[in-house]
């Protein structure tokens, strides 16, 4: 397993675990803790998505000619995940225990499917593509500015 795989898998597992911690707190009726954990998860996850949307995915599109359909699908997944996060934020804010699992499970499933697909796409096209352009990727990451991201994160 190479460096890019390790980074992707590590981040993905970290976010899956963080979401499960929110579930455990809410399931135990510790709503304030669940909301705090959720806010921490979202703040960190936003950066993860920006790195993928603004650096990794564009670099992949530039380097791997036949990756467009896969990358477009991954970006659409991000949009769907953000919508599901909005739903879960509402449920947490209103402490709707009867709707919590109904909001969490589709989100968690979507994240697992997205993560598996993304890891497969990167490995299929050879994530050595990104490793070969590591210095450029780091320069792009360092140039990232607060963005007017097209996604609505106000929850």
Is residue 69 in a domain?
yes
CATH for 77:
1.20.120
Count of domains for the chain:
1
Is residue 7 in a domain?
yes
Range with the poorest average pLDDT among 2-6, 82-86, 108-112: 2-6
Taking the C-alpha atoms of residue 94 and residue 61, their distance in angstroms, rounded to an integer, is 41
Is residue 154 in a domain?
no
Task: Tally Cβ neighbours within 10 Å of residue 23.
Answer: 19
Per-residue pLDDT tens digits for 10-67: 688 899 999 999 999 999 999 999 999 999 999 999 988 988 998 888 988 888 878 8
pTM of the model: 0.84
Burial class (CB in 10 A: 0-12, 13-18, 19+), 60: buried
Are 130 and 4 in contact, with CB atoms under 8 Å apart?
Answer: yes
Is residue 121 in a domain?
yes
Is residue 150 in a domain?
no
């Amino acid at each position: 397993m190479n460096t890019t795989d390790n980074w992707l898998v590590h981040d993905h597992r970290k976010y899956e675990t963080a979401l499960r911690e929110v579930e455990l707190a809410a399931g135990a009726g510790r709503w304030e803790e669940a909301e705090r954990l959720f806010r921490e998860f979202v703040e960190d996850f936003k950066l993860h998505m920006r790195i993928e949307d603004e650096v990794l995915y564009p670099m992949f599109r530039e380097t791997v000619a036949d990756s467009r359909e896969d990358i477009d699908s991954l970006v659409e997944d991000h949009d769907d995940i953000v919508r599901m996060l909005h739903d879960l934020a509402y449920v947490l804010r209103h402490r709707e225990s009867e709707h919590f699992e109904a909001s969490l499970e589709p989100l968690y499933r979507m994240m697992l499917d997205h993560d598996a697909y993304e890891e497969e796409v990167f490995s299929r096209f050879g994530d050595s593509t990104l490793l070969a352009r590591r210095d450029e990727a780091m320069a792009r990451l360092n140039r990232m500015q607060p963005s007017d991201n097209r996604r609505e994160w106000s929850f």
